[in-house]
Amino acid sequence: MLFRSERMPHDPAYKQFFSNPEMVESLLRDFVSADFIADLDFSTLERCSGSYVTDDLRERHDDIVWRVGWKKGSWCYVALLLEFQSTPDHWMALRTLSYTTLLLLDLVKTGKVRENEGLPPVFPIVIYNGGKAWKAPQEVAALFAPMPEGLKYYRPQHRHFLLDESRVSGEELDKSKGLVAQLLRLERAQEPEQVRQIVRELIARLHGPEYLSLRRAFTVWLGRVVLKRSGITEEIPEFQDLREVDAMLEERAAQWKNEYITLGRKEGEAKGLGRGVQLLLEARFGALPASVTTYISSSSDSNTLQKMMLSAYHAESLQSFIELIKKN
């Protein structure tokens, strides 16, 4: 059985992935092509509190803050914002500016930054997996209306990094063996066997006790999102471990294979019938308008297409054919 291809907004379980230092390191190393990444000491990754963030900001996004040391000392802060919605947030650049400001103010308020030290850098990352391509500005200055040249000096300057998962190419994923790439491969998996292969790779990789929380995150997310997307109609059990997911996939592999073959045959039969209807109409009445070809090609039911074939044979004109299929 093919998995449905529509993308789903981030499940709350998604936050658990990026609450793990290995996932954050994988994200930065594999998807951020910037020179400063090489200067970070990932052994110092440390989760920070985000209690200063307003409820308004959290309505659409979830947030995770990390800090990582530079190899030469001091800190860089990484603010991850997970976009929950299925469509882009036009004002995200303004929200990330607000988020960065609140983070820096909190560092000052709690005495973690002194006047003679200067503010630490903050790297804001937005992770988005909605169905529509992200076209909202990443630079807050782009949100402002036109203004006199002299006022532009006082306009805020702030930019966030965007990981739009739908724009990550298959070639990019193939180059990476990182955990975030594995996560994206799972999201794109079209067949159960692909999911099972990735699950087995994760089992082999995350076998130590230090990976317990990350194994749990993958297990919960697979049950809530990936397997539900597969079209399973019966209740999916609450898995406790990745090995249980693998066992379930092995058990149902034969069933899914048979269903996929049956589905493929039906789709092939429908496609052939649809093409036959179009060829018959073209032979009888000449070139077809786009509205007719679109209607025929969008029909996937074999019985409906067989009725169309009879209508195409008996119709005295193209208009007559259209009227006949409307009645059916």
Q: How far is CA 239 from CA 13, 247, 271, in A?
A: 14, 11, 39
Q: How confident is the model at residue 6 (pLDDT cuts 50, 70, 90)?
A: very low
What order of strands is seen across the sheet that includes strand 40-48? 40-48, 61-70, 75-83, 122-128, 161-164
- Lowest mean pLDDT segment, chosen from 66-70, 86-90, 315-319: 315-319
Whether residue 5 has pLDDT greater than 50: no
Contact 222, 245 (CB under 8 A): yes
- Lowest mean pLDDT segment, chosen from 147-161, 176-190, 215-229: 215-229
Q: How far apart are CA 67 and CA 123, in angstroms?
A: 10
Q: Which residues, 6+ apart, have CB-to-CB distance to 300 below 8 Å?
A: 267, 270
Q: What is the pLDDT of residue 232?
A: 55
**104-118 average pLDDT score:** 92
φ, ψ of residue 238 in degrees (nearest 5): -80, 100
* Residue 65: both structure tokens together: 């803050």
Whether residue 8 has pLDDT greater than 60: no
Q: Which residue has the higher pLDDT, 191 or 154?
A: 154
The alpha carbons of the chain give a radius of gyration, in whole angstroms, of 26
Residues 292-307 have pLDDT tens digits of 888 888 887 878 887 8
**Every domain of the chain and the residues it spans:** 14-171, 254-327
| The model's pTM | 0.72
Q: How far apart are CA 116 and CA 35, in angstroms?
A: 26
Q: What is the pLDDT of residue 55?
A: 57
Q: How far is CA 213 from CA 13, 64, 221, 245, 305, in A?
A: 12, 16, 12, 16, 52
Q: How far apart are CA 95 and CA 162, in angstroms?
A: 13
Whether residue 56 has pLDDT greater than 70: no
In 3-state terms the chain splits into helix, strand, coil percentages (rounded to 5) of: 55, 10, 30
Q: Which residue has the higher pLDDT, 255 or 126?
A: 126
Q: What is the pLDDT of residue 148?
A: 97
Q: What is the pLDDT of residue 295?
A: 85
Q: Which residue has the higher pLDDT, 252 or 180?
A: 180
